[in-house]
Amino acid sequence: MAGPENRARMAAPIWAEETMGTAFDEMTGPDGSSRPGYGFLRKWLESTPPEMLALRRAEAELLFRRIGITFAVYGETDAEERIIPFDIIPRVIGKGEWERLSAGLEQRVRALNMFLADIYGPAEILKAGIVPPELVYRNPYYRPEMAGLKLAHDIYVHIAGIDIVRVDDRDFYVLEDNARTPSGVSYMLENREVMMRLFPDLFAENRIDPVENYPEELLATLKTVAPHSAPADPTVALLTPGPFNSAYYEHSFLADKLGVELVEGRDLLVHDNVLLMRTTEGPKRVDVLYRRLDDDFLDPLTFRPDSTLGIPGIMNAYRAGNVTLANAVGTGVADDKAVYSYMPEIVRFYLGEEARLKNVPTWRCREDEARRYVLGHLHEVVVKEVAGSGGYGMMIGPSADKATRELFAAKIEANPENFIAQPTLALSTSPTFVDAGIAPRHVDLRPFVLSGADKVRIVPGGLTRVALKDGSLVVNSSQGGGTKDTWVLSE
């Protein structure tokens, strides 16, 4: 860190002259003043020369390369592992804002768990006509094998990643629910570690809630959901598809932080409906399997018979109540973007409450009136595949060319139930260090919600993703987005 004498000789920071329309600026109010919680960050940015920020950014990239945090993009011809771009300017969330957000997150995940337990059980919400049965039973992620299966503690989504955006100083909107195998928590943890190494003075001068305890919270959560037949100190393992998976770094990182074995399908076997792990001391029972493997590949005896990644017979052990799978099989129904559109009604049906977090208004193209509206306004809306993820299967109307809009119109006409559309939100912006200087860039937030048998745990913050391209609304790393550290203030 440059000393005061060096700072005095360096120029003031360059604030890039870029406008982001009517987007809500999280740091600066309409009158140019700093919003609550951002005063210290603005002073720091104004006193830190751009040369120093550039140096720290280079140091951060070097650290990430040494650590080995990489990801791959499926479908690309080259197999080069990439580093997700990291922005060294943190995103700040005030204490009151976080309290409102976390209460809404807990409510939403409670409702998601109740919804999944219901659709695989009595299906009361379908019988009541709240959610159309075909949205569930025709969903590609619905698993009839789960029907009538009683899970330990009735928890399906043990780890949820809820994608949040904001458009003003009060409201948070849920953009997407990730209830299968949400990723990104390793970046949340490594972002914080790198920031603490690069800017220890900022942490010393401000009270920022920690996120470093996430592994301990996750392990505690997983142990509470062990089967009733498990010992007092259940054995947890993390299942990975292997080193060729794009998120393998995160799998190995989490297993190390949790202090549990990282296993592949070939390391496990099922005997007498009990899941066992091969060890140098002989087979050892596994009570909780934190799986980062999709349903289709989990058990070749139940799902895809050509899968070499899973464990033959694990579904039998699951049905027998001898192992807990986190997350449960069949949770992908809750990821569906058409089901998402019913979340306000789902919350109301199960909890008798209004949803604390808003949904983005959504047109379901399966409905005639909605489809006609979307087809007539493709230049204004965002179109998404109901089972799409990672920024794929999506069209942002205002920035799409005529050919793309015509292509999506044909797709919607041919298969309307596969698409929803939403208005183009003016996502909030956060100050970001780019080549032109410090400029506003659109951001979202993925907090991680842990549901255990004892309580719901949410570490303060989450993974902030940032659209580094000027004007872009797509924050996914596979589409050129980056990440930021997220600071929740303690006071």
On the CB side of 418, CA atoms within 13 Å amount to 13
> Mean pLDDT in runs of 10 for the chain (491 residues)?
34 41 84 90 92 93 81 52 86 95 98 98 97 94 96 95 92 93 93 95 93 98 96 97 90 97 98 96 97 97 96 97 97 93 97 96 93 94 81 82 95 94 89 90 96 97 92 73 94 80
Q: Specify the residue for token string 């899968």.
A: 307
SS3 (DSSP) at 420: strand
pTM of the model: 0.90
- Tell me, what's the pLDDT at 389? 62
Tokens of 45: 């940015």
Across 84-202, where does the E strand assignment appear?
A: 86-93, 159-166, 172-178
Q: Per the structure block, which two tokens stand in for 137?
A: 């039973």
Q: Which two tokens stand for residue 191?
A: 């972002």
Does this chain's domain 98-184+212-351 share its CATH topology with 361-423?
Answer: no
Residue 390 confidence (pLDDT): 56
CB contact at 8 A, 10 and 52: yes
Give the SS3 label for residue 216: helix
Q: What is the CATH number of domain 98-184+212-351?
A: 3.40.50.11290
Residue 347 to residue 228: CA distance in whole angstroms: 29
Give, in words, the CATH class of 361-423.
alpha beta
The answer to whether the CB of 155 falls within 8 A of the CB of 195 is: no
Task: Locate the domains of the chain by residue range.
Answer: 98-184+212-351, 361-423
Predicted local confidence at residue 354, as pLDDT: 97
SS3 content of the chain, % helix, strand, coil (to 5): 35, 20, 45
Distance CA 203, CA 91 (A): 14
SS3 188: helix
